[in-house]
Amino acid sequence: MSLATLREQVVEANLDLVKRGLVLATFGNASGIDRELGLIVIKPSGVPYEDLKADHLAVTDLHGTVLEGSLRPSSDLPTHAALYRAFPMIGGIAHTHSAYATSWAQARKPIPCLGTTHADHFHGAIPVTEVMSDEEIAGEYEANTGVAIIRAFEKIDPLKVPAVLVANHGPFAWGLGARQASETAWMLEAVARMAYLTMQINSSPDSVSKALHDRHFLRKHGKNAYYGQPRS
């Protein structure tokens, strides 16, 4: 993939977040990475989405050093960079302040898998990070946010559960590319809303069975997936 193509994909991923109602004002961002070149492309900080163009994007290395672009990159760049370094299989990241997923993050509660919509996309509950210490917040806050996310995945496969809730902050989601990360953020918001509504009807619902959870996830993911049409 050319860097120009990656830039266009990252612009579209950011605009997808807007189209799907996942961002407030300029809050939120999406990025993508070229693994061969070791380059991250990310939305600039505070630029209105309606004005966003490919040449506005910042290009950085894996440690967040800006290599191209005249605009300041997203303030969440150190979080993205930490995740790209820790999870070498992902190719895109999206961060939003979508209402329902953010509400679960503020409640510091993981989102349980209560049905097959969740199971189709996430092979487990959506984890929530530990609360960051005052020292972590006062220090390299955004980089330490990445560290908190990485800690939450010590026993979780980030491709099977491609999203997280940062305690008192909001969701991060990822995928094999930037636009897939944006779609994951969309699915995350949907299951967050469904879980909330389910718990208004039944305050103590049972999680979906392992058999049903596995069946729905594995029919869409992995070598034996059979949902949809074969890819050439």
User: Which candidate in 55, 120, 206, 226 is catalytic?
Assistant: 120
Does the active-site annotation cover 120? Answer: yes
Does the active-site annotation cover 84? Answer: no
Sequence letter at residue 134: D
Q: How far apart are CA 136 and CA 134, in angstroms?
A: 5
* φ, ψ of residue 169 in degrees (nearest 5): -125, -80
pLDDT value, residue 232? 60
Considering the entire predicted model, what is its pTM?
Answer: 0.94
User: Which candidate in 55, 61, 157, 227 is catalytic?
Assistant: 227
pLDDT value, residue 106? 98
Which regions of the chain are under pLDDT 50?
none
| Residue 94: both structure tokens together | 């999206």
pLDDT value, residue 25? 86
| Residue 127: both structure tokens together | 């984890």
Helices (H), 202-227: 210-218
DSSP 8-state secondary structure symbol assigned to residue 208:
P
What's the pLDDT tens digit per position in 135-183?
999 999 999 999 999 999 999 999 999 999 999 999 999 999 999 999 9
pLDDT value, residue 26? 83
**Sheet arrangement for strand 39-42:** 66-68, 58-60, 39-42, 29-34, 92-95, 170-175, 163-166
